């Protein structure tokens, strides 16, 4: 990771200032598993604190405490809603469980796929969009060069750090990120940290 930090510091003076202010790179990775993707769905559009409570309730409902497709589908939608999940997120998680059991989503093969193939593979599930796929690529598959163009925190951090009048659109972000490649994931992590907001999956 030292190589990535050196590259970003040399390539972009604004990123250099962020890195020096934030300090050491301390990303927390997760396993590229069904449970991680369920967690990501739960965390969509919620604060980390609220999402953690809901996820904890859901896990407590599962007999073994393990988040598996089989365990999820043994719960009724009404029971899942009692954990605090919305109707939509309940449907999304159940769709993921069904597609995983049927072999449409294969977590064991994701590591072999290119970034764009992972996005295609995961977004076949209801409720999983490009943002969720990007988070999975960064935090679970540990891909080094993912630019999370749809993440509000990243956009807000870029606006602040680069003194833009408005939130950047994806094309602006891509142009800015040319200097960061092939380490966009590291740059994204530092941008999150520059706002001192939690990056969750």
pLDDT digits (tens, 9 = 90+) for 11-34: 999 999 999 999 999 999 999 999
| Range(s) of the domain holding residue 22 | 2-28+146-194
Mean pLDDT for all residues in the chain: 93
Residue 58's nearest CA partner among 33, 89, 27 is 89
Whole-angstrom CA distances from 40 to 74, 142, 152, 183, 201 are 20, 15, 16, 23, 5
Judge if 46 and 124 occupy the same domain.
yes
Give the pLDDT of residue 4: 96
Helix, strand, coil % (nearest 5) of the chain?
A: 60, 0, 40
Judge if 39 and 65 occupy the same domain.
yes
**112-117 average pLDDT score:** 97
Give the pLDDT of residue 199: 46
Rounded to two decimals, what is the model's pTM? 0.88
Judge if 125 and 154 occupy the same domain.
no
Judge if 132 and 42 occupy the same domain.
yes
Which residues 6+ apart lie within 8 Å of 139 measured at CB? 27, 28, 29, 30, 36, 199, 201
Judge if 173 and 123 occupy the same domain.
no
């Amino acid at each position: 990771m030292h190589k990535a930090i050196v590259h970003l510091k040399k390539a972009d003076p604004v990123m250099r200032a962020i890195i020096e202010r934030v300090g050491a790179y301390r990303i927390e990775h997760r396993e590229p598993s069904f449970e991680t993707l369920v967690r990501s769905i739960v965390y969509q559009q919620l604060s980390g604190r609220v999402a953690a409570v809901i996820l904890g309730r859901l896990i407590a409902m599962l007999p073994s405490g393990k988040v598996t497709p089989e365990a999820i589908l043994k719960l009724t939608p009404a029971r899942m809603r009692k954990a605090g999940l919305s109707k939509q997120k309940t449907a999304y998680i159940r769709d993921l469980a069904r597609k995983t059991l049927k072999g449409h989503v294969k977590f064991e093969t994701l590591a072999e796929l290119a970034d764009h193939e992972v996005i295609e593979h995961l977004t076949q599930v209801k409720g999983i969009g490009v943002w969720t796929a990007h988070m999975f690529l960064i935090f679970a598959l540990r891909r080094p060069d993912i630019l999370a163009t749809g993440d509000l925190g990243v956009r807000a951090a870029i606006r602040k750090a680069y003194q833009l009048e408005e939130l950047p659109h994806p094309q602006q972000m891509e142009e800015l990120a040319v200097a960061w490649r092939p380490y966009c994931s590291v740059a994204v992590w530092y941008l999150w940290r520059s706002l001192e907001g939690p990056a969750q999956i």
